[in-house]
Amino acid sequence: MFSAKNSVSKNDPSNCTLLSAGSVLQGELSLPSDCRIDGAICGKVQCNQTLLVGQSAVVQGEIRAGKILVYGTVKGLLYATEIEILASGCVDGDIYADSLCIEPGGRFTGESHTLPATSRQAHSAAENSKPLPQKPNTLAIDINS
């Protein structure tokens, strides 16, 4: 539904959850479909498909999704098969992913880890276990275009 090049779904926009700019959510959010966040969230987000963090968004807490696209700001833990930090994106925290892409201008401060097999097999709303500790790859990046 979302891609770094085209952030608006042309397939079925009715199957996407939107937290609009100016909205604030504290607590836990569990979604079976794609999600776009343009507001603020403090807590846990579980998205079974693609989660897009818009330019105006600020997310603090834990995100678990199939794929995460970051155009805004995320502080906390991210778990996904694929994570992209776009030119305007900023992540401050730990990333657990099989694939991490950072565009020029994107910023990441924290540790990156390979996604544990348990998270790869079950990224469902019921999956709340912490990954096993792994040797971190400490990385601080600030790529300016």
32-55 residue pLDDT tens: 889 999 999 999 999 999 999 999
How far apart (Å, rounded) are the C-alpha atoms in residues 11 and 61? 30
Q: How far is CA 90 from CA 26, 58, 118, 121, 131, in A?
A: 20, 10, 27, 27, 23
Coil/strand/helix, residue 120: helix
Q: Can you give the pTM of this predicted structure?
A: 0.74
Torsion sign (Cα): 108, 84, 20, 65 = negative
Coil/strand/helix, residue 117: helix
Tokens of 101: 């892409």
Amino acid identity at 7: S
> Is position 131 within any domain?
no
Any idea what DSSP says for residue 123?
A: -
> Is position 143 within any domain?
no
> Is position 68 within any domain?
yes
Q: What is the pLDDT of residues 89-144, one digit of tens each?
A: 999 999 999 999 999 999 999 999 998 876 655 554 334 444 434 444 444 455 55
> Is position 73 within any domain?
yes
E strand or H helix that includes residue 29: strand 24-31
Any idea what DSSP says for residue 9?
A: -
> Is position 3 within any domain?
no
Q: How far is CA 54 from CA 9, 10, 23, 58, 64, in A?
A: 14, 17, 13, 8, 16
> Is position 48 within any domain?
yes
> Is position 125 within any domain?
no
* Number of separate domains in the chain: 1
The pLDDT of residue 97 = 96
- Domain of 98, in residue numbers: 14-119
The pLDDT of residue 69 = 97
> Is position 112 within any domain?
yes
